[in-house]
A = this chain, B = another copy of it.
Amino acid sequence: MTDAADRQAIDETHDARRTSWVPGADGHPDFPVQNLPYGIFSPQDGAARAGVAIGDQILDLAAVAAMLPPDVVPACGGNRLNALFALPRALRVTLRRRLSDLLSDEQYRAAVEPALHPADDCELHLPAMIGDYTDFYVGIHHATNVGTLFRPDNPLLPNYKHVPIGYHGRASSIRPSGVPVVRPVGQHKAPDAAEPAFGPSQRLDYELELGVWIGAGNALGTTIPIASAADHIAGFCLLNDWSARDFQAWEYQPLGPFLAKNFQTTISPWVVTAEALAPFRCAQPARPAGDPRPLPYLWDEVDQAGGALALELEVSLLTGAMRAAGLAPHRLSRGPASNMYWTVAQMVAHHASGGCNLNPGDLLGTGTISAPDREGFGSLLEITRGGSDPVALPNGETRRFVEDGDEILLSARARKDGYAQIGFGSCRAVVLPAVGG
């Protein structure tokens, strides 16, 4: 398939006039027929398998294999999406186009409808075997806000505008939306304490991030040029990088966060594909005058012109008392995903620039995405200024950090005139008391 045909196939699947015969799909806030995210689900009493979200239903991919392009069928089997992520972009586009037709055109309804499962009856799993997880730090307002708290004289370090700062995270403790988070215990030392202590975190926080699923990888010792980096991105999810701020402050020097971040990471289980987000790409915000021009291996005009994502991100909180009173979650923040100093293509190109091999199913986090103003801060550390300025909730409660029984909910929606809105689905987890705490 040529690039031009690729683009046309993507455009047709985005046509806002395209409707689905699946009841409730048209106008669904997250999963109209224009989205078609992939995931791994198990129906009641059934084995885990690959599926596509459509409205409030899930299409079982293996059950419609006979109607899919033969080249993609092997990648749609099994209980992990790694092989699907690794498909060449042209095949991913072909599969998307076919799924769009199957779910739009009434002529396929009789054959396809038996392969649908109500999402409410299904369990969702991690979409892929995550070989390695890397977390970046590209939210410049977050970096500035946190830097101000930890290093008032020197909030943004000299390397920030030259290097997409990142570090390796823990893959084993990544869990899908809905799995509760047990409050971690650990070492912490208050600045005025004589000795460290060990106990449940007193400064448990969330971090609002996007996750990036790697598609085709690169061999060890080779690189991924910035101009082709976008081809290595299979899709996106929401990511909550749970953080124990008290542990972090005590342990992070000189080698970075460790136990403060590895007790659990929550992701949304649906993989919103790069193809689904194609209409919502936008120009990377212009660098402020005086900012350095990135080195050539990080600079690509096409990426600058369309490598950012027009997504609106939100964080909400539902406390135990709010839940008991039947109240709705309270929005803590809202802001655009464009508050990233580096694009995801720059993250990928930088990661592989020294020869490190990326693999299909690797996960990258963007780092916390904050807006410049408090209404768009992506963590409680920033919203409450390190706990000194509590948030007042509508029911009279206040929060400095996350308390037991609190549920944190992240959401992402893409909107653009002339296009159907698409979303990322649920990324939520409730905090349970520490074991023995």
What residues make up the interface of A, taking CB atoms closer than 8 Å to B? Answer: 131-132, 134, 137, 147, 150, 157, 159, 162-163, 165-173, 175, 182, 184-187, 189, 195-198, 220-223, 244, 247, 250-259, 262-264, 292, 295-297, 350-351, 353-359, 362, 435
| CB neighbours of A166 from chain B (8 A) | 255, 258
A261 to chain B, nearest CB (A): 9
- 8 Å CB contact of A172 from B186, B256, B262, B358: B358
Could you give 24 example pairs across A and B, Cβ below 8 Å? Answer: A147-B254, A157-B254, A159-B196, A166-B255, A166-B258, A167-B168, A168-B168, A168-B262, A172-B220, A172-B356, A172-B357, A173-B220, A182-B355, A185-B355, A195-B292, A221-B263, A221-B264, A222-B435, A252-B254, A259-B351, A262-B354, A262-B356, A263-B355, A264-B355
Known pairs A295-B196, A356-B259; A165 contacts B220 (CB<8 A): no
Interface centre among A220, A247, A258 (most CB of B within 10 A): A258
Asked if residues A258 and B167 are in contact (CB atoms below 8 Å), the reply is: yes
Known pairs A173-B220, A220-B264; A186 contacts B258 (CB<8 A): no
Asked if residues A170 and B173 are in contact (CB atoms below 8 Å), the reply is: no
A295 to chain B, nearest CB (A): 5
The 8 residue pairs across chains A and B that have the minimum distance between CB atoms? A256-B256, A184-B354, A168-B168, A167-B255, A182-B221, A255-B256, A259-B354, A262-B356
When C-beta atoms are compared, the residue in chain B nearest to A200 turns out to be B354
A46 to chain B, nearest CB (A): 24
Known pairs A132-B172, A167-B167, A362-B172; A196 contacts B357 (CB<8 A): no
Asked if residues A159 and B354 are in contact (CB atoms below 8 Å), the reply is: no
| CB neighbours of A262 from chain B (8 A) | 168, 354, 356
A376 to chain B, nearest CB (A): 22
- 8 Å CB contact of A295 from B131, B187, B255, B295: B187
| CB neighbours of A189 from chain B (8 A) | 159, 162
Asked if residues A132 and B170 are in contact (CB atoms below 8 Å), the reply is: yes
Asked if residues B358 and A131 are in contact (CB atoms below 8 Å), the reply is: no
| CB neighbours of A258 from chain B (8 A) | 134, 165-168
A165-B254, A173-B356, A259-B353 are known; give 7 further A-B pairs, CB within 8 A: A131-B171, A166-B255, A167-B258, A196-B295, A220-B264, A255-B257, A259-B350
| CB neighbours of A350 from chain B (8 A) | 259
When C-beta atoms are compared, the residue in chain B nearest to A158 turns out to be B189
* Distance between Cα atoms of A350 and B198 in the complex (Å): 11
* Distance between Cα atoms of A84 and B196 in the complex (Å): 38
When C-beta atoms are compared, the residue in chain B nearest to A201 turns out to be B354
Asked if residues B263 and A356 are in contact (CB atoms below 8 Å), the reply is: yes
Asked if residues B187 and A163 are in contact (CB atoms below 8 Å), the reply is: yes
* Distance between Cα atoms of A175 and B350 in the complex (Å): 21
| CB neighbours of A187 from chain B (8 A) | 162-163, 295, 353
* Distance between Cα atoms of A186 and B221 in the complex (Å): 12
Interface centre among A175, A255, A259 (most CB of B within 10 A): A255
Asked if residues A172 and B251 are in contact (CB atoms below 8 Å), the reply is: no
* Distance between Cα atoms of A354 and B184 in the complex (Å): 5
| CB neighbours of A244 from chain B (8 A) | 354
A176 to chain B, nearest CB (A): 12
Asked if residues A131 and B357 are in contact (CB atoms below 8 Å), the reply is: no
* Distance between Cα atoms of A195 and B172 in the complex (Å): 38
A359 to chain B, nearest CB (A): 6
* Distance between Cα atoms of A186 and B351 in the complex (Å): 10
- 8 Å CB contact of A254 from B256, B263, B354: B256
Asked if residues B131 and A172 are in contact (CB atoms below 8 Å), the reply is: yes
- 8 Å CB contact of A353 from B157, B186, B220, B351: B186
Asked if residues A251 and B165 are in contact (CB atoms below 8 Å), the reply is: yes
| CB neighbours of A186 from chain B (8 A) | 353-354
When C-beta atoms are compared, the residue in chain B nearest to A195 turns out to be B292
* Distance between Cα atoms of A353 and B186 in the complex (Å): 7
Asked if residues B253 and A157 are in contact (CB atoms below 8 Å), the reply is: yes
A222 to chain B, nearest CB (A): 7
